[in-house]
Amino acid sequence: MPRFAAGRGGFNLPRINAFIKETCMQANQAYLISKPSNIFYLSGYKGEGYLLSLAERSYIITDSRYEEQAQLEAPDCETVCIRTGVSHFDLAKDIILSHHITAVYVEADGLTMREHDALRALLPDDVSISAMDGQPERMRQIKDEGEIRLIETACHVSCLAFEHIIGYIKAGMTEKQVQLELDYYMYRNGADKLAFDTIIASGAHGSLPHAVPGDNVIKNGDMVTMDFGAKVGGYCADMTRTVAVGKPSDEMKAVYDTVLQAHLMAEQALCAGASCPAVDSIARDYIDEAGYKGRFGHGLGHSLGVDIHEEPRLSPASRAVLRSGMLMTVEPGIYLPGIGGVRIEDTCLVTENGYRSLIGVQKELLVL
């Protein structure tokens, strides 16, 4: 598998410059980024610490364990390291004061109250601290070509793992066995990490949308839902397939057909300009009208990228509109407590005229 080194060789200087533009950053302003996914997105750096971005220069504030890594991964930033008696925020304060910064912006969902209070106590009263306006997350909604390539690769690795696992699953295995084989296969075939903990849910366990694979033994006639994804070069894939091990019941077969139809109809509706709640309701209304009202409890899908769940969401509560370059999952499900569940999920690229699914494996019911 090809390896991708996002963050090497100046790749991120355009990102930092775009961030400066997006925030309309002034010479007296500083942006303190503490969420690892935003630090990575903007600078390329994957380790611990903070990114302090100023109009004229950006800094990675970290410790000696990460010094060399930060210099390699974020060559466009200056790396500064804490030492005994000098904390991350002491270093931030020195940079802030030496650049005559009067306004510091932080991530409202990135700093703990303890961190906020420590920073406040260190800075002079005439330096304000306030929440930034979600600019990194806003930028992350639209993926560039490099990001799309990484997500495609992550999806490809995930699909290879699916092709492998359908030849492996047998009645008598536990969910945990299937999970270990799937995860191991992804790691051996190009995954740097897993995008999230793999879900394997068999039989009645399938009614839990986020089931944790356990010692449940897969029985003949069970449906098995597998929700998983590789992470490659810092970017996630997300896919779900439900397969039958032996002939399923007529009831579960009908559930499968309904979910598949809802999935296909919703996917067809993906297009730049489509409203997120409208796409959600295509799948939801179909499932409701098929007699499963209330059995599809979660949203239809979500965006993904550096994180497995990003904005926007395909959900009734969303007010977002799809744009070209967004990556969205489409994952309707039906969950029947005590009986089982079905979910079918693709990761899709939204385009000007429609969409392109990055998950190239069969959706019609596979009976193993």
Interface residues with Mn ion (CB under 5 A)? 238, 329
Q: Which is nearer to Mn ion, 6 or 236 (CB)?
A: 236
With tokens 């994952």, the residue in question is: 331
Q: Which is nearer to Mn ion, 107 or 310 (CB)?
A: 310
> What angle (nearest 5°) sits at the alpha carbon of residue 189, between those of residues 186 and 190?
90
Q: Where are the beta strands (DSSP E) in the chain?
A: 29-33, 50-54, 58-62, 78-81, 103-106, 128-131, 193-194, 199-202, 222-228, 230-232, 235-236, 239-245, 301-303, 310-314, 327-330, 333-336, 340-343, 346-350, 355-357
Instruction: Tell me how far, at minimum, the Cβ of 345 lies from Mn ion, in Å.
Output: 6
Q: Environment class of residue 70 by beta-carbon count within 10 Å: exposed (0-12), middle (13-18) or buried (19+)?
A: buried
Number of residues written out for the chain: 368
Q: Which is nearer to Mn ion, 92 or 287 (CB)?
A: 287
**How is residue 341 written in tokens?**
């569940």
Q: Name the residue whose CB lies closest to Mn ion.
A: 238
Instruction: Tell me how far, at minimum, the Cβ of 100 lies from Mn ion, in Å.
Output: 46
Q: Which is nearer to Mn ion, 127 or 165 (CB)?
A: 165
The DSSP result for 242-311, as a single string, is EEEESPPPHHHHHHHHHHHHHHHHHHHT--TT-BHHHHHHHHHHHHIIIIITTS--S-SEEE-SSSSSEE
Instruction: Tell me how far, at minimum, the Cβ of 204 lies from Mn ion, in Å.
Output: 22
Instruction: Tell me how far, at minimum, the Cβ of 200 lies from Mn ion, in Å.
Output: 15
Instruction: Tell me how far, at minimum, the Cβ of 344 lies from Mn ion, in Å.
Output: 11
Instruction: Tell me how far, at minimum, the Cβ of 330 lies from Mn ion, in Å.
Output: 9
Instruction: Tell me how far, at minimum, the Cβ of 196 lies from Mn ion, in Å.
Output: 8
Instruction: Tell me how far, at minimum, the Cβ of 271 lies from Mn ion, in Å.
Output: 20
Q: Which is nearer to Mn ion, 119 or 230 (CB)?
A: 230
Q: Which is nearer to Mn ion, 39 or 328 (CB)?
A: 328
Q: Which is nearer to Mn ion, 105 or 355 (CB)?
A: 355
Q: Which is nearer to Mn ion, 88 or 363 (CB)?
A: 363
Q: Environment class of residue 165 by beta-carbon count within 10 Å: exposed (0-12), middle (13-18) or buried (19+)?
A: buried
Residue of 303, 306, 230 lying closest to 7 (CA atoms):
306
Neighbours of 104 (CB within 10 A): 21
* Cross-strand partners of 202: 224
